[in-house]
Structure 1
Amino acid sequence: QVQSNGTALVAFEKATGKVRWAIGQELASYTSPLVVTMHGQKVLLYFARGGLLAVEPRQGKVLFHFPWRARIEESVNAANPVVVGSRVLLSECYGPGSVLLDIDQQWQPRVIWSDAGKDRWDRSLAAHWCTPIYVDGYLYACSGRETPEADLRCLDYNTGEVQWVQKRTGRCTLLFVDRHLLCLNEFGTLIVLKPNPQKYEEAARYEITDLEYPCWAPPVLSDGILYLRGRGRLVALELIPSRK
């Protein structure tokens, strides 16, 4: 039986369901654990309520913990880390914003850039629940906690420098498909974007009238069918015509 304390992360035997290990006093977050290869080794990364946990996945040994969260209790980390090589980007919208870490071979994190201490309007990125999309050295992401302040933006992954901001998009989710970004905002508008760090480049826009607010779930693409979800309804769009 899994108890409340010491179970920020729990590993189970796949065949039996037996608990293999349980670690951490962190509170829960809305993110998912990620297993990545870094410095030739498998490492499990989990952006918990209080920050980033890095764990050796087979034995559950904690490699490091990097604190990153808002000071207020009513906050949560919801966007997954964005990992490129030995670098890890964390982003949240309730407090400090974003930080880029570089992890050395001794599993020590070093801050490359950080939003900590900046005014909320000067932060590079404040991701709510949508995990930013990495394309060719740049991030494309929704920034902002509430609808009026939320925007779509592009920033340099390695420096945090904002390249452009498209305001009044509402909160939105993103999917990268065939060198295009599919952006679904919370009102049911589907926008097709070209990933261009020089400017916001919109290729097409569709109002999905069968969807009702809020559309917070990210788009899913499978076998040429794009699935979009709003309140109480799922819509399937055929992107690739089926062969009769």
Structure 2
Amino acid sequence: VLTALSLQDGNTLWRVKRPGRHYHPMGGLGPRSTPTIVNYKDQTLVVALTATGHLLCVDLQTGSVRWELQLLEKSQTNQTDFELAVNWGRAASPLVHKDRVIVPLGGAQNQIASSLMACSLDDGSVLWTQGKSQISYASPVLMNIHGVEQIVSVNEGDVTGHAWEDGRVLWTSPWASNSNGAACASQPILIEANKILVGKGYSQGSKLFEVNLKEPGSETEPIENLQSGDPVWSTKDLWSINKILKTKFTSSIYHDGKLFALSDGILECVDPADGSRIWRGQRYGQGQTLMVNGTLLVSSEDGRIVAVDKKSGKPIAEMTVLEGITWNTCAVAGPFLLVRNGSEAVCLTAPALGETTK
């Protein structure tokens, strides 16, 4: 179910229902993916992906469906076979940029999968499918590296950079994972101009690697899909440490030259230069973090919102706002702080956070 609520009173404005209720004993009913809202051709659109592969484009004001796709059909599989490979449901948020939507596609177990699919924001028509790695639970991220706009995707077993225009693979960096077990859910983070951080739980931690660009004709190993005359891309690991930034359900934050994250539920701050830990704070469980106008917020697994001092990691203020397991990222809209989990949602007034977010 895709639901729009009034920001003023929480009343339901519209709902869009689709079949395919997804339940897993360890993950429950979700929610998993976060909808993407975009202004496009004088309209405000919501692009959402369900756990079972329904990709919807909906008018924000009315809830009317402009177009929809079923990713299982595009990957030529069914939910039962797909879950043998990716068994906790699709969790990536759609990447919407310019006139297209990018989502991880995937496929059945032991099937050559397409890592990414691009479709038109106008009508949902498929523009390209690229990559051969099985998908993870991470969202694709748009990055500009060496002046080239590209999509960075964390997959099962590697991280890939894809050309924006046609999705061809520009570079690959190995990153072990298994979407049935030791899964990746964290988004890649661009640090400085050409360095990318990836992280996960399951005692693997994080690594930082750089993406380099050479002119055509330079000596390099061949790259799949490389076209004649293309620039040549390569990657180099800078560090990989299994004791830090073990982001199982969450992603790291890069702010003021430092990295902040919940590492197996414990808040910590890390120097990206060498991966050394600057401080270690309290345990908040498998919650989420958000940086708002320089304020570090933690949404804890047990339903608390905590403001934390960035220099020491010590709590400044906290409030219990929800009951039950809370895995969702909180959001800020103007002076409002929105927090939700699988059963309830809360809107708080936080003027200090929203001074520059309106």
Same fold (TM > 0.5): yes
1:171 positional shift: 2.0
Q: How many residues are paired up?
A: 227
Larger radius of gyration: 2
1:100 positional shift: 0.1
Deviations, residues 160-193 of structure 1 (Å, cap 9, x unaligned): 0011112432222111112111111010111101
Structure 1 equivalent of residue 256 of structure 2: 136
Which of the numbers 301, 312, 320 marks the counterpart of 1:207? 320
Structure 2 equivalent of residue 168 of structure 1: 283
Secondary structure at 1:37 match in 2: strand
CA contact (8 A) 1:226 1:236 kept: yes
1:216 positional shift: 0.4
Structure 2 equivalent of residue 57 of structure 1: 164
| Whole-Å separation in 2 of the counterparts to 1:94 and 1:22 | 30
CA contact (8 A) 2:178 2:184 kept: no
1:66 positional shift: 1.2
Say which is worse superposed, 222-231 or 133-142, in terms of deviation.
222-231
CA contact (8 A) 1:139 1:155 kept: yes
| Whole-Å separation in 2 of the counterparts to 1:113 and 1:19 | 38
Which of the numbers 236, 239, 244 marks the counterpart of 2:350? 239
Segments of structure 2 that go 5 or more residues without pairing to the other structure are: 1-72, 76-106, 215-232
2:314 aligned with 1:194: no
Secondary structure at 1:159 match in 2: coil
Segments of structure 1 that go 5 or more residues without pairing to the other structure are: 145-149
2:245 aligned with 1:125: yes
| Whole-Å separation in 2 of the counterparts to 1:25 and 1:184 | 35
Q: Which amino acid aligns with 1:17?
A: G
Say which is worse superposed, 78-87 or 61-70, in terms of deviation.
61-70
| Whole-Å separation in 2 of the counterparts to 1:171 and 1:224 | 26
Which of the numbers 11, 18, 22 marks the counterpart of 2:129? 22
| Higher RCO (CA-CA < 8 Å; seq separation 6+) | 1
Deviation beyond 4 Å, 4+ runs, structure 1: none
1:6 positional shift: 3.6
CA contact (8 A) 2:267 2:313 kept: no
CA contact (8 A) 2:131 2:168 kept: no
Structure 2 equivalent of residue 89 of structure 1: 197
Deviations, residues 177-217 of structure 1 (Å, cap 9, x unaligned): 12111111010111101322xx2232211122xx1221100
- Normalised by the size of structure 1, how large is the TM-score? 0.87
CA contact (8 A) 1:6 1:22 kept: no
Q: Which amino acid aligns with 1:39?
A: H
Identity over aligned pairs, percent: 25
Structure 1 equivalent of residue 213 of structure 2: 105
